[in-house]
Amino acid sequence: MTRVRALLAKEFADLRHNPGVFLPALLTAAISMALPFFVAVAIPAWTGERLSDSSDLQVALDTYRSQRIMQGLDPEAMVQAWIFQQFLPLLVLAPVAASMSVAAYTVIGEKQARTLEPLLATPITTFELLLAKVLGALIPAVENVNRTAFVIRQVIHVGHKNAAVGGLCKKADALEALDDRGNLKSVGDIERKAFAVL
């Protein structure tokens, strides 16, 4: 196991020296988070038309009107919540992009640095080599997921603190959660409401 740890430390050192490896994952995460805001908030603001007036999005209103937690939302917020929910699977692409990018770099980087042949000549087993390479790609991807989730939580916090991002929660709900100085009282309750909406 010490050989795997040593190889894993080498993988992380290589990744620290080449942070551009994470660029595809960062771009994927940024686009995945910006796209629903663009579709649900920016386009209606630019066009001056409400999403709830579109007959194409009537399915969102029909879907959410029957759900108890959504009944307090206005029709525009229901459609926005539905759009955000449709874009959630895109967030899965960020860790996939990170893993693919790191995995490709670990093999190509070894080949370019001409360290692959000496590495294969060491007494490390195939299983240990593959385990270190897989962990070297998996751990940064998991960290990417954690950072993406943190950013989403911050967006939800800011959105609720400022009484909703595009109307995803009732203004009264957001104001109930603020104390006299405008700080959040109960973040957990707001998160539960926000994730229930999304």
What token pair was written down for 145? 């997921």
pLDDT-derived band at 84, boundaries 50, 70, 90: confident
For the cut 80, the answer to whether the pLDDT of residue 44 exceeds it is yes
Q: How many CA atoms lie within 13 A of 194 on its CB side?
A: 24
- Overall pTM surpassing 0.85 (yes/no): no
pLDDT number for residue 6: 87
Amino acid at 147: R
pLDDT number for residue 77: 82
Q: DSSP for 94-160?
A: HHHHHHHHHHHHHHHHHHHTT-HHHHHTSS--HHHHHHHHHHHHHHHHHHHHHHHHHHHHHHHHHHH
Taking the CA atoms of 21, 24, 27 and 28 in sequence, report the sign of the dihedral they define: negative
Q: Give the range with max mean pLDDT: 69-73, 98-102, 182-186.
A: 98-102
For the cut 70, the answer to whether the pLDDT of residue 155 exceeds it is no
Instruction: Give the Cα separation of 189 and 141 in Å (integer).
Output: 29
For the cut 70, the answer to whether the pLDDT of residue 162 exceeds it is no
Neighbours of 167 (CB within 10 A): 22
Compute the C-alpha angle 196/197/198, nearest 5°: 95
Average pLDDT over residues 34-56: 87
Q: DSSP for 6-30?
A: HHHHHHHHHHHH-GGGGHHHHHHHH
pLDDT number for residue 157: 57
The predicted-structure confidence for 122-137, as pLDDT tens digits, reads as follows 888 888 888 888 888 8
The predicted-structure confidence for 101-115, as pLDDT tens digits, reads as follows 888 888 888 888 888
What token pair was written down for 58? 């009537």
Mean pLDDT score of the chain, rounded to an integer? 74
